[in-house]
Structure 1
Amino acid sequence: MIEIKLNNRDGKEWDISELVTSLSLKTAHIGKAGTLTLTFIKKALYQSSRFKYENGDVIRVRKDGVNLFYGYIFSISGGRDEIVSLTAYDQIRYLMNTDTYVFKNTTAADIVKRIANDFNLKLGKIADTKYQIPAMVEDGQKLLDIIDKAITLTFSNTGKDYCLYDDFGQLCLRDVDEQVTDIIVGEGSLMYDYSVSSSIDDDTYNKIKLYKDNKETGKREVYIAEDSINIMRWGLLQHYESIDEKMNPAQIEELLNNLAKLKNREQKSLKIEALGDIRVRAGMRVRIHIPEYQVDQNLLVNECSHSFEGADHTMSLELKVI
């Protein structure tokens, strides 16, 4: 059973579970706030004349006693008919604010904590990302972009991936490898449709070129890793990136190897339509079983959308295939 409660800013709480006709909840691994969209019937039978809903009000959603969503209304739409549509976002929406930050020898975890504290956001469990980013100068950037950049730099340099998400009103940062369920989605288990695609059009590179300016010699130092076989297959696809001048040869070699491992390959994606399971969300790994494409492994969920309509619960998954 789904429980949906709306809290006005004046402290009044309304249970709108019986009014809601459809509900969708979307989460993403990186770069987006959790999004709740729902429709409900206004002026329904037995509905209080004092019932109201405004932008900024809080919406909480639970299913079978499990917390699903805690967020804030950002848009309301309706017309002459009795259907009203609301869109709410979790706390990550407030990371769309912009500001300027300068970080030096700071971890992604510390960046999350500092920004959250500066903007009065509630924190939950924050993983120790360990890797110290030499420097980040972010002038007038979205807070979420700053955090995503820190997570990406950590991933590029260590191979460890992290997910920022809102856990029922608390910002959390978790290692994606620690978020694995025992759920199996695939042939004979929940899945009823899927599609597979591969591309070299987005974030695929067979030549990695890094550079740094040596202030002592006044020269630019260049470091290269390339795959001649894939250059023959796909043509030359070059990734060009500056690195911190304080990086030593061993650190540069490690970064080159990590970037080549991550980017010198086709980017494959898998989309699955399945019966819903509320334990699945973006940023976690789920066991996928599709014999036709020799897929039987834990894959990272990039985006997850749960849809509820009446007694029906379905989910759409976009997964990263490695």
Structure 2
Amino acid sequence: MSTQISVLYDGKYNVESLVKTATWSGDVAQPHRTLTLSLSNTLNGEDQEIAFELGKEIRFYVDGKGVFRGVIFTYDITEKGDAVVIAYDENVYLTKNTDTRKFVKTTAGAMIAELCKSFGIPTGDIANTGYVIPRMILRSKTLWDMMVTALTETRKQNGRKFVVYASNGKLGLREKKDAAVRWMIEDGVNIIGATRTRSIEELRTAVKVVGGESEEKQITASEKNAALATRYGLMQHYESADSKLNASQLRQLAKQRLKELSTVKEDVTVNALGITDVIAGTAVYAFESMTDLVGGFYVNADTHTFSDGIHMMDLTLSKTDDLPKLDYEEEPEKKKKAKESKKKAKEKAKKGK
């Protein structure tokens, strides 16, 4: 069955007749999706059919369904009229703005809403992320890195996962529950090719978290997966936590980190007939006999290609829900004060002897 695409430029020009290939892609590590159009932008070999302008809007439809709305960031054209248009959805502005911000006793959701308001980014539904972050100073970071850092700290404490998304030109934040598997991809039906990789390179079987205002008031929390340590060997993750966390919070952090890190990493790449709803962040059931590929997987990255009525997709799948992570590090000034406090304590101890 042939797939029909439509492309609307600047709200008034239907330009799908110029499109040779359309590539629509996304990755859970990025806040935005991308549309790349390969065009033959001339009818007479001398002039452009459409003079595409940077900053103008592009909308992309597949079989009548709107799947992309974004802004043109790049336009290339040759003397033959061969052109390339690259557009991103509105969440790209999270990566184009950098600032320094201080947050005190604020949830990640409230931080995201505040950042969007400050930079004029329209928002839709913003979920309540629950955990109140005691204190966070983020220096010279993009808005996206600030958001990921706050969501990472939240996930460490309460285990809840949240994703940033774009819908109808607005930024939204929703909790990521276990995704319902609606789509199956299998050999002999829609899989064209598949590769599977399993690895324990990043697996850890023990976690040690250290916090506290100074060395004398240091608090330590340790967790270990004895069964995995016996099977794969002892591999410990060490982490310095926010000094304001108490013993209970440190234990919770250690348990959560062990849960995240004690997983065998499994990556799968699949080339298959395209399904529009299968994009980064969704889940699929996959079966391929040679690679022994069986079960449910998360889609971490997707690339959908449309050409001559044929829709294909390349997927990166994983057993683990690999949302982007950025650990928070205390600002240099605070570290400096901690070192000074530690030095003074040592000097005081020496004098006491």
CA offsets 1:20-60 (integer angstroms, 9 cap, x no match): 11011111123342111111111226999783112211111
Partner Cα separation in structure 1 for residue 141 and residue 314 of structure 2: 31
1:4 is the counterpart of 2:1: no
Q: 2:273 aligns with which of 258, 272, 275?
A: 275
AA aligned opposite 2:148: D
Distance in 1, matches of 2:253 and 2:18, equals: 54
Q: Give deviations 1:213-264, integer Å, cap 9, x for gaps.
A: 235x843222222346655665554322222334333322222111111102
Task: Report deviation, 1:266.
Answer: 2.1
Mapping for residues 169-318 of structure 1, pairs under 5 Å: 169-177=169-177, 179-202=179-202, 204-214=203-213, 218-227=216-225, 230-231=228-229, 237-290=235-288, 293=292, 295-297=294-296, 299-318=297-316
Report the AA paired with residue 248 of structure 2.
Answer: A
* 2:212 partner SS: strand
TM-score under structure 1 length normalisation: 0.88
Instruction: Tell me the CA shift for residue 95 of structure 1.
Output: 0.8
The TM-score normalised by the length of structure 2 is 0.81
Q: Which amino acid aligns with 1:199?
A: S
Structure 1 counterpart of 2:50: 51
Counterpart CA distance in 2 for 1:229 and 1:178 is 25
Aligned residues: 315
Structure 1: gaps (5+ residues): none
Native 8 Å contact 2:182 2:283 kept in 1: no
For 1:140 and 1:115, locate their aligned partners in 2 and report how far apart those are by CA, in whole Å: 14
Q: Is residue 126 from structure 1 mapped to residue 126 from structure 2 by the alignment?
A: yes
Asked if 2 retains the 8 angstrom alpha-carbon contact of 1:163 and 1:173, the reply is: yes
Partners of 1:91 and 1:169 within 8 A in 2: yes
SS at the partner of 1:177?
coil
CA distance in 1, matches of 2:199, 2:123: 37
SS in 1 for 2:239: strand
Give, in angstroms, the shift of residue 78 of structure 1. 2.1
The amino acid across from 2:282 in the alignment is M
Contact 2:222–2:251 (Cα < 8 Å) also in 1: no
Unaligned ranges ≥5, structure 2: 321-353
Q: Deviations over 1:69-109 (max 9, x none)?
A: 11111111222222101111111211112111112232222
Counterparts in 2 of 1:288 and 1:150: CA distance versus 1, 3 Å: farther
Q: 2:220 touches 2:250 (CA, 8 Å); kept in 1?
A: no
Q: 1:174 to 1:109 in 2, by over 3 A?
A: same
Is contact 2:196-2:293 (8 Å) kept? Answer: no
Q: Secondary structure at the match of 1:18?
A: helix
For 2:218, what is the secondary structure of its paired residue? strand
Code of the residue aligned with 1:154 in structure 2: it is T
Partners of 1:234 and 1:143 lie apart in 2 by 39
Quote the RMSD (CA, aligned, Å).
Answer: 2.6
* Structure-2 change in CA distance of 1:213 and 1:251 (3 Å): closer
1:135-174, aligned counterparts within 5 Å? Answer: 135-174=135-174
Shift, 1:273, TM fit: 1.3
Matched-pair contact (CA < 8 Å) for 1:105–1:134: yes
Call closer, same or farther: CA 1:181–1:199 in 2, change over 3 Å: closer
- Output the CA distance in 2 between the equivalents of 1:48 and 1:165: 38
**Structure 1 residues 256 and 176, CA gap change in structure 2 (3 angstroms):** same
Q: Is structure 2 residue 88 aligned with structure 1 residue 85?
A: no
Residue of structure 2 equivalent to 1:99: 99
Q: 1:94 to 1:269 in 2, by over 3 A?
A: same
- The answer to whether the 8 A contact 1:30-1:164 is kept is no
CA distance in 1, matches of 2:25, 2:12: 24
